Amino acid sequence: MEEILSMLGFIVLVAILMFIDLKVGKTQHHVMTLKSAALWTVFWIGAGVLFGFSLLLWGHHIHSIHSMEDLSLIIQKHHHMINISGLSFDEALKLYRQNLTIEYFTGYFIEKSLSLDNIFVWLLVFMSFNVPEKNYKDILFWGIVGAVVFRFIFIFGLSSLLSAFEWVLFIFAAILLYTGIRMFFRKKDNEEKEKEKYKNHFLVKWFSKFRHFYPGYDRGFFFKKGGFTFVTGSLLVLCIIELTDVIFAIDSIPAIFAITADPFIIYFSNIFAILGLRALFFLIYHGLRSLYYLNYGLGALLTLMGVKILAGDWLHEIGFTNIHSLLLVLSIITITIVASLLKKNHSKVKVNVKK
């Protein structure tokens, strides 16, 4: 019962935060400014961090843990990397909540960093279809709403699958290793070539077959005319963005299963990481587009998580814990961002010297 209440409470919290975002956003300009995007990004990161630390207080209530037996069963079920032997119930509960918090933050930072690649794809989609800037906010808002729903189905579906067939985790490891290594060698495609790819997307052909398809962006997602309901170009772009999120989730969610098998922690960290993507999109759109080494950083993250799944038991034996995973993830993200910024500044200096 407490699991259901925890999830309902979380959904209500997310709905309230998104309602605030939607209502405040309506009073601002159609195109989010750099300052507004920065403030909203800080707001969403702050909300995610506060929620993570709140697990230190109430994390044990998620799975109705009221005894040492309950705690032992949950630790075994979700493969938490903690040892509670010799501890009192209160001490064990404190250690469990601390571990949940570490798992949450590791998952949060993994999802946040992997989402950067998703944002660059969204930008390409908007440019490919010449979507007016004033439409970005609404399309992204409903795109994130769709992602919240889809990820609930995906995460809890995968969790049920893992409970029945633990060997599926090794398929996740193979996907992560393959995708991670491929990212190291991924070429930076020509922007025009990428745009052309989205213009020829199968959804474009599918929508074009509709008799009542309106390719413009000035009528919302649907509108009625002459007794008929028309779908618009905005809905087409929204569907493409939703599909790209599904594809990216196939990489990002298994990466978090490498950290924890608790679907609640995976979902909580995942959702708080994607809630701020609209603001982060505009932050990147206005001035942070250049992350030269992003492919290498994301490749390293995915490869690391794949290795962690395969070598999990051995790593546990040598004393590797989730705090080490969190520190490694933060180190990779920091090195990627700093190296990219140094590369960008070095390129600017070279241009100025030539002038």
Lowest mean pLDDT among 84-98, 160-174, 251-265: 160-174
Cα separation of 320 and 188, whole Å?
35
> Is 351's pLDDT higher than 50?
no
Residue 190 CB-density burial (10 A; 0-12 exposed, 13-18 middle, 19+ buried) = exposed
Cα separation of 324 and 143, whole Å?
34
pLDDT at 188: 59
For residues 165-191, average pLDDT: 77
Q: How confident is the model at residue 65 (pLDDT cuts 50, 70, 90)?
A: very high
Q: How confident is the model at residue 195 (pLDDT cuts 50, 70, 90)?
A: low
At 89, list the tokens: 């119930």
Cα separation of 207 and 153, whole Å?
26
> Is 320's pLDDT higher than 90?
no
Q: Which residue has the higher pLDDT, 37 or 346?
A: 37
pLDDT at 348: 53
> Is 190's pLDDT higher than 60?
no
Q: How confident is the model at residue 99 (pLDDT cuts 50, 70, 90)?
A: very high
At 147, list the tokens: 């992602």
Q: Which CA distances in Å does 18 have to 175, 226, 249?
A: 32, 34, 21
Per residue in 203-246, pLDDT tens?
A: 888 887 777 888 888 888 888 888 888 888 889 999 999 988 88
C-alpha torsion angle, residues 187, 193, 198, 200 (rounded to 10): -130
* Max Cα-Cα span within the chain: 75
pLDDT at 63: 92
pLDDT at 30: 65
* Residue percentage of the chain with pLDDT more than 90: 29
Cα separation of 2 and 64, whole Å?
6
> Is 16's pLDDT higher than 80?
yes
Q: How confident is the model at residue 196 (pLDDT cuts 50, 70, 90)?
A: low
What is the overall mean pLDDT for the chain? 84
Sheet with 228-232, strands from edge to edge, namely 213-214, 228-232, 222-225
- Predicted TM-score (pTM) of the model is 0.84
pLDDT at 344: 65
Q: How confident is the model at residue 106 (pLDDT cuts 50, 70, 90)?
A: very high
pLDDT at 172: 79
> Is 353's pLDDT higher than 60?
no
